[in-house]
Structure 1
Amino acid sequence: YFQGFEVTTGARLGEKNELRLNGTNLRIHEDFVPIAFSNTAEFEGPVVFAGYGVTASEMHYDDYRGIDAEGKIVIVFRHEPQELDSKSPFAGANFTAHASFVNKTINARRHGAKGIIFITDPNNHENEELGTATRQIENDDMGIPAVHARRDPVMKIVRDAGKDLAAIQKKIDADLESQSFELPAARVRIATEVIRTRKTVRNVMGAIPGSDPMLQNEWVVVGAHYDHLGLGERDSLAPSQKGQVHHGADDNASGTSGVLELARLAARNKNGWERSVLFMTFAAEEIGLIGSSHFVNNPTIPIRNVNGMINMDMIGRLNNDHLYVGGVGTSPSYQTWLEDLKKSVGLNLDYSDSGYGASDHTSFNAKKIPVLFFFSGLHTDYHKPSDTPDKINGNGAIKVLSLVYLMMDKMATGTERLEYAEVRQPQPPGGGGGGGYGPYFGSVPDFRDDLKGVLFADVQNNSPAAKAGFKAGDLMVEFDGKEIQNLYDFTYALRGKKPGDVVAVVVKRGGQDVKANVTLEARR
């Protein structure tokens, strides 16, 4: 069976992309490139230079201090201050989240900017990487036009104002103080037209009906995602090898093969199980758990009848018979079963209670379904072209599947349904990055990409969000007085807060705005 749904798979440029500096038109692809996360808009007006475009309250650094970017176009350097200093609070050449194109654009928009022009900082980077630096950028709409431009024409309008950007960069790096300024005589026109490509992809599933007339309407779901990184244009951990096939043998051909093998074995079980079993492979996991999210929100079986869910993601690199099992705390039965069964298959198990994580079991856990996540561990080939079939531990994968089969058997038999237990998540699934996650809020995002805002797939019990009255299904549209267009906005805004801060949050619920104050807490 196929379950189709649409996702944004890319973006292409329309005809109206323009950058004009003081009346001089720049050439697209030669002098500037629009960035895929731009919105479709145009603006002509005044300009400000905003240093590296960073606001980092935790480091007492703000490039927007002393300038007014409201209703203007901002020019910013790429990268971060003190890039060559290993002792820099910005982590030197490793970079923090503040260095990203996305976060700098969000910061510009939050300061009221109507557009942003990136140039490669002059002192540390001879190669400007025009057209390559932004190649794997996200294509979600960040709300303003954004372009990466060649240095020389931009530096000319700054020189005309009597300023030297190379000298200014040196001063910023030396003092970690804002050197931003307005360019009152300059005028810039920026226009971007980005057309986002949406395509239909499919979850693939097969079912084995249960044998018990009383229990066959209850289900066990066994799943794995079958998508991978393709040519690595997005999220590759081998940037120099973008454009090469990222084979994904472990991530996640191993889990996909596991689903197929378990389905084959299950089909040979003449007596079947009392409960029905749904074998699923999910699309679009690598771009945000979208396939599993679509299924739990548009289920082909009654979602309340799902007794438990098993997810296999990267089960092909078992080392020393050591297997990670997540979600163990989501049902009181799980750890007892696993302890009883592990010796029979010769595995050492490392347990995690949380039912959340950066894989498809998260979508089911958000619906209060007991989940298990089987994972053989990270390795140096993860998200690289070198994740190839010759490195798969076939015998190890057989051991993993032997345990999964036994757990599937437990879940599909017996008259008692699994009891769900909520486990507080230690950190947000699939979000954040360098620079920390910020304080604890307590929502779990739904990663669907067709809504403006952040949809809550779940709100954890006794979390700050729950205490403020927010619920699963709420759509956050405002945080601390700033519009929230997507998960990037929310992650950026949360990272800038600290435990104890009280923030006003607005959500859409049933077509109405619901506003409440949330007191953020420390993560535990």
Structure 2
Amino acid sequence: MRSLQILIVLFYLFSSCARFGTNPEITVDEMSEHVAFLASDSLKGRHPGTPEDLVAARYITDQFKKAGLQWITEEGLQTYDIVTSIEAGDSNIMIIDGDHCAFGKEFTPVSFSSNKSVKAEVFFCGYGYDIKEDDLEWNDFSELNISGKWVMVLRGNPEPEKSTSIFDIYSNDRDKAMLVKDLGASGIIYVSGPLFDPEDELIPLRSRESQVGIPAIHIKRDVANSILTSSGRTIGQLEQELNTKRLPLSFPVKVTIEAVTEVIPYKTATYNAIGFLEGSHPSKKDQYIILGAHYDHLGLGGPESTSRLRDSSAVHYGADDNASGVSALIEIAERFASTGKQPERSLLFVAFGAEELGLLGSRFFTENPPVPLEKVSLMMNLDMIGRMRDRHLQVSGTGTSLEAEEILDYFASVDSIQLMKSPEGFGASDHSSFYGKDIPVLFLTTGVHSDYHTPYDSPEKLNYSEMVQVADFAFDLIDSVARMDSLLSFQEAGPRVMPTERYRRGQVTLGIMPDITSSDDTEGMRVEFVSPDRPADRGGMKKGDLILAIEGKPVNNVYDYMFRLQKVNPGQQIIVTIRRDDKQFDLLIQL
């Protein structure tokens, strides 16, 4: 509590030392001032859900207020909950033929485990594969009925010495759990062979994985060897045999295991900071332009983060990513509010939270919009604008409206900026959430660099004079769109697919953009967008449909969806069960 109080005091001291009036010009001093605060040691990397996260959001709303913006949400904040951590509950137990195992030392539930109690016999099933490809076949379950049983499998694959293996796409821990669940198993037990993990460390709990539907446990090798006593073999021997012979090796074990798994997610509030400037034109002021920039970053990094240096714990300042974009957001808002002449259309200035956790802030905004989305002419996103060199600026989304190219080219010429344009509307930043809602988008960035997602992304490395140029360019674009006679004309530009989707050889895609934010308390996976003339579109799927199953197998989240697609083939007709407007029915989709 005291550390939070100190942060709040520092925040107000910093704010009071800032300019007392508003300056209509965007300057180097003002830009660097915002970056210095947001990317300071005191804010500890602005990780979503932390006290520093709130201090950053409050700093932004305070700047909006000083600029003269209005609130359209309570105190300028849009609050929502995110899962920031998970912990193993007190109910976790594991009993092997009457002998209790030590929780945290000999076993642990894994992050995607469901909270269940199971008492059943154990089958050892090799690497847990069911592979049938033209040049690769391996089925660890063909000779066994694992329905109602515990299934113990080795982690990894039979080629641990290779950095990449043909088995990699079949060796994900979660996919193995999905497979045995589909085959009727009551639970899965993982063990690490000595070649896979010589240290035999238990899997740490990770905070962003949906439950798989069965209990999932990781055990130490000594525990696994005791389970295998009747077989006369150890985990090390089984791993060596599997890796050498490359043949299935599965058998029942005359052991009964009783286990209870409990994994508890903890949710914390995070925020979108929103400022509003009403338009001046009587018939246009109920139309909107949104300027956005995410304010969160990676906190202290660490192994569970997306830091590129996961083995170290240090403040990830996020000066370029994305204190730079937020500083421009604040200064552009101030410039519009200080000109004395309001724009014709209304402007929303939004600092999104939780972008680094999967665009959560912008997705929440688009699902809970404070203004009608159909009246939004443009969403412009500023993300990493602090490293421009030689006046070269990257702009994505140029094809999402009919008018964008002409406007961009004109102001690039006026402001002497060299544009590197890309028409696609989808990308790994907050504009994607709006593109999925049929809103024209523009994404301005100066690009990635060697300091990206490391502790070395610090304020002194930014090029503030060229940040001012980017901000002025963005101002000109927004001012122009705000004065146009009509809204920008949306058009699709480029595929809308998951950038992190794993593909096996020949794997199909439906041609949709799936919702990546599904939680354990929801059924099905929502379709954010359907690409024209792709399998889903030809089969009758629509944006907003809820996919419940593929080929009769349940789909509750994007992980389930990707796993199901691995099991179908090009040219195949599949049945996809969906829910639309409270009605459930099947679609026949030709792949």
Contact 1:21–1:154 (CA<8 Å) still a contact in 2?
A: no
Aligned with 2:272 (options 200, 203, 206): 203
Counterparts of residues 489-504 of structure 1 (less than 5 Å): 489-504=560-575
**Aligned: 1:138 with 2:208:** yes
SS of aligned partner of 2:469: helix
| Residue of structure 2 equivalent to 1:379 | 449
Partner residue of 1:462?
533
1:313-352 matches, within 5 Å, as 313-352=383-422
Q: C-alpha distance in 2, partners of 1:235/1:423? A: 31
The 1:249/1:300 distance shift into structure 2, 3 A limit, reads: same
Q: Deviations over 1:423-447 (max 9, x none)?
A: 241x623442475793221222233
Give per-residue Cα distances to partners, 1:295-348, cap 9 Å, x unaligned.
222211111110111112222233454332211111111122222222433433
Q: Structure 1 residue 369: deviation in Å?
A: 0.8
Alignment of 1:82-231 (within 5 A): 82-85=159-162, 88-90=165-167, 96-130=168-202, 133-136=203-206, 138-183=208-253, 185-231=254-300
Distance in 1 separating the partners of 2:190 and 2:360: 31
1:272 matched residue in structure 2: 342
State whether residues 387 and 463 of structure 2, in contact with CA within 8 Å, keep that contact through their aligned partners in structure 1: yes
User: C-alpha offsets along residues 438-468 of structure 1, whole Å, 9 cap, x if unaligned?
Assistant: 3221222233334222111222222211221
Distance 1:195 1:164, change over 3 A: closer
Contact 1:56 1:496 survives alignment (8 Å)? no
Deviates more, 1:22-31 or 1:378-387: 378-387
The equivalent position to 2:105 in structure 1, one of 5, 30, 37, is 30
Q: How far does residue 218 in structure 1 lie from its aligned partner after superposition?
A: 0.7
Match for 2:440 among 370, 374, 381? 370
Amino acid at match of 1:281: A
Distance 1:431 1:513, change over 3 A: farther
Counterpart residue type for residue 477 of structure 1: L
**Mapped partners of 2:536, 2:402: distance in 1:** 26
Match of 1:47 among 117, 122, 132: 122
AA aligned to 2:576 is V
Q: Which amino acid in the other structure matches residue 474 of structure 1?
A: D
Aligned to 2:35: none
Which residue of the other structure, out of 137, 141, 147, is the alignment partner of 1:60?
A: 137
Give CA deviations for 1:226-265 in whole Å, capped at 9, x if unaligned.
2222233534244643543333222222222221121122
- Contact 1:358/1:429 (CA < 8 Å) preserved in 2? no
> Which runs of 5 or more structure 2 residues have no equivalent in the other structure?
1-75
Shift in Å, 1:168 = 2.4
Residue 9 (structure 1) aligns with: 84
* 1:398 maps onto 2:475 in alignment: no
Question: Deviation string for 1:165-224 (max 9, x for gaps)?
Answer: 3232223223433223322x1111221112222233221100111111111111000011
Query: Which among 457, 478, 489 is matched to residue 549 of structure 2?
Result: 478
Give the aligned partner of residue 511 of structure 1. 582
Decide whether the 8 Å contact of 2:506 with 2:570 is kept in 1.
Answer: no
Work out whether residues 83 and 207 of structure 2, in 8 Å CA contact, stay in contact via their aligned partners in 1: no
The answer to whether the Cα contact below 8 Å between 2:116 and 2:214 also exists between their aligned partners in 1 is yes
**In the superposition, relative to structure 1, how do residues 286 and 341 fare at CA in structure 2: closer, same or farther (>3 Å)?**
same
- Cα separation, partners in 2 of 1:162 and 1:40, compared to 1, 3 Å: same
Structure number with bigger Rg: 2
CA contact under 8 A between 1:14 and 1:195: conserved in structure 2?
yes
- Give the TM-score, by structure 1 length: 0.91
Q: Distance in 1 between matches of 2:366 and 2:163?
A: 46
Determine the C-alpha separation between the residues in 2 that align with 1:311 and 1:195. Answer: 35
Cα distance in 2 for residues equivalent to 1:137 and 1:437:
32
What residue number does 1:290 align with? 360
Which deviates more, 281-290 or 504-513?
281-290
Q: Which has the higher helix share?
A: 2
Contact 1:439 1:497 (C-alpha < 8 Å) held by counterparts: yes
Query: Quick one: structure 1 residues 108 and 177, their matched pair in 2 at CA, closer, same or farther if it must change by over 3 Å?
Result: same
Paired residues of 2:397 and 2:426 also in contact (CA < 8 A) = yes
TM-score by length of 2: 0.81
Q: Which secondary structure does the structure 1 equivalent of 2:356 belong to?
A: coil
Match of 2:281, as an amino acid?
A: D
Match of residue 453, structure 1, among 524, 537, 545: 524
- SS where residue 406 of structure 1 aligns? helix
1:163 is aligned with what amino acid? Answer: R
Q: For residues 140-165 of structure 1, what are the alpha-carbon distances to aligned partners after superposition, in whole Å with 9 as ceiling and x for unaligned?
A: 22222122211111122213222333
Conserved 8 A contact 1:439-1:499? yes
The number of residues matched between the two structures is: 511
Alignment match, 2:31: none
Amino acid at match of 1:453: G
Map of 2:377 onto structure 1: 307
Superposition deviation, residue 269 in structure 1: 2.1
1:416 matched to 2:486: yes
Q: Please give the secondary structure, in 2, of the residue aligned with 1:33.
A: strand
Change (3 A) 1:371 1:87: closer
State the Cα distance separating 1:112 from its structure 2 match: 2.4
Partner of 1:77: 154
Report the residue type matching 2:473 in the other structure. L
Q: Partner residue of 2:331? A: 261
Query: Conserved in 1, the CA contact under 8 Å of 2:85 and 2:207?
Result: no
State how far apart, in whole Å, the 1-side matches of 2:362 and 2:583 are: 28
| CA distance in structure 2 between the aligned counterparts of 1:321 and 1:46, rounded to whole angstroms | 67
| 2: CA distance, partners of 1:356 / 1:122 | 42
Q: Distance in 2 between matches of 1:382 and 1:104?
A: 33
SS at match of 1:478: strand
User: Are the aligned partners of 2:401 and 2:440 in contact in 1 as well (CA < 8 Å)?
Assistant: yes
Rounded to whole Å, the distance in 1 between the matches of 2:382 and 2:175 is 32
Moved more, 78-87 or 323-332: 78-87
**How many angstroms apart in 1 are the aligned matches of 2:346 and 2:314?**
41
Aligned-partner residue type, residue 276 of structure 2: A
Choose 34-43 or 213-222, whichever is displaced more. 34-43
The answer to whether the 8 Å contact 2:383/2:443 transfers is yes
Secondary structure of the corresponding residue to residue 544 of structure 2: coil
Report the CA distance between 1:501 and its aligned residue: 2.2
Question: CA contact under 8 A between 1:505 and 1:516: conserved in structure 2?
Answer: yes
Counterpart Cα distance in 2 of 1:447 and 1:35:
20
- Contact kept? 1:38, 1:143, Cα under 8 Å: yes
SS at match of 1:207: strand
Structure 1 residues 501 and 45: alpha-carbon distance in aligned structure 2, compared to 1, 3 A threshold: same
Note if contact 1:40-1:145 (Cα within 8 Å) is conserved in structure 2: yes
For structure 1, which segment, 293-302 or 377-386, has the greater mean C-alpha deviation from structure 2 after superposition?
A: 377-386
RMSD (Å), alpha carbons: 2.3
Residues 357 and 429, structure 1, Cα contact 8 Å, conserved in 2: no
**Structure 1: runs of 5+ lacking an equivalent:** 91-95
For 1:329, the aligned partner's letter is G
Query: Which residue of the partner structure matches residue 93 of structure 1?
Result: none
Whole-angstrom distance in 1 between the partners of 2:97 and 2:569: 42
